[in-house]
Amino acid sequence: MSARLAPNGAPVRADAVEIVTLGCRLNAAESDAMAAAARAANLTGAVIVNTCAVTAEAVRQARQTIRRARRDRPEAQIIVTGCAAQIDPDAFAAMPEVDRVLGNAEKLLAPTFADESERVRVSDIMAVREMAPHLARADDAGSSRTRAYVQVQNGCDHRCTFCVIPFGRGNARSAPAGAVIDQVRRLVEQGCPEIVLTGVDLTSWGADLPGAPQLGALVARILRHVPDLPRLRLSSLDVIEMDERLFRLCTEEERVAPHLHLSLQHGADLILKRMKRRHSRAEAIALCARLKRARPEIALGADLIAGFPTETDAHAQDQLTLVDEAQLSFLHVFPFSPRPHAPAAKMPQLPPARIKARAAALRAKGDEALARHLDAWVGKTATALVERPGFARLPDFTGVRADDLAGPFARLAFTGHDGADLIAEAA
Ligand code: SF4
Domain 132-375, CATH among 3.80.30.20, 3.40.630.30, 1.20.210.10, 3.40.50.300: 3.80.30.20
Q: Please tell me the distance between residue 263's alpha carbon and the centre of ligand 1 in angstroms.
A: 9
Backbone angles phi, psi at 39, to 5 degrees: -65, -45
Which amino acid belongs to residue 248? R
Strand-pair partners of 18 = 47
Q: Please tell me the distance between residue 156's alpha carbon and the centre of ligand 1 in angstroms.
A: 6
Ligand 1 lined by 278 (C-beta under 6 Å): no
**pLDDT attached to residue 304:** 98
Q: Please tell me the distance between residue 73's alpha carbon and the centre of ligand 1 in angstroms.
A: 36
**Tens of pLDDT along 166-207?**
999 999 999 999 999 999 999 999 999 999 999 999 999 999
Indicate the top mutation candidate among 163, 171, 242, 278 to test ligand 1's pocket, ranked by most ligand atoms within 8 A of CB. 163
pLDDT category at 404 given cuts 50, 70, 90 is confident
CA torsion angle 267 268 269 272 (round to 10): -70
Q: Please tell me the distance between residue 261's alpha carbon and the centre of ligand 1 in angstroms.
A: 14
Ligand 1 lined by 241 (C-beta under 6 Å): no
Sequence-ordered list of residues with C-beta below 8 angstroms from that of 300, at least 6 positions apart, any chain: 259, 260, 261, 262, 288, 291, 292, 326, 327, 328, 329, 330
Percent of the chain with pLDDT over 70: 95
Residues 92 and 85: beta-carbon distance below 8 Å: yes
Q: Please tell me the distance between residue 8's alpha carbon and the centre of ligand 1 in angstroms.
A: 38
**Tens of pLDDT along 55-78?**
889 999 999 999 999 999 999 999
Distance CA 283, CA 285 (A): 6
Ligand 1 lined by 160 (C-beta under 6 Å): yes
Atom from ligand 1 closest to the CA of residue 276 = 2
pTM here is 0.90
The per-residue DSSP string of 140-181 comes to T--TT-SEEEEE-EE--S---TT--HHHHH-S-EE--HHHHH
**pLDDT attached to residue 129:** 78
Write down the mean pLDDT value for the chain.
93
Ligand 1 lined by 200 (C-beta under 6 Å): yes
H or E element that contains 89: helix 89-93
Please check the confidence at residue 145 and state whether its pLDDT lies above 70: no
Distance CA 48, CA 316 (A): 40
CATH architecture under which domain 2-123 falls: 3-Layer(aba) Sandwich (3.40)
Ligand 1 lined by 155 (C-beta under 6 Å): no
140: nearest Cα among 186, 108, 200? 186
Residues across the chain: 427
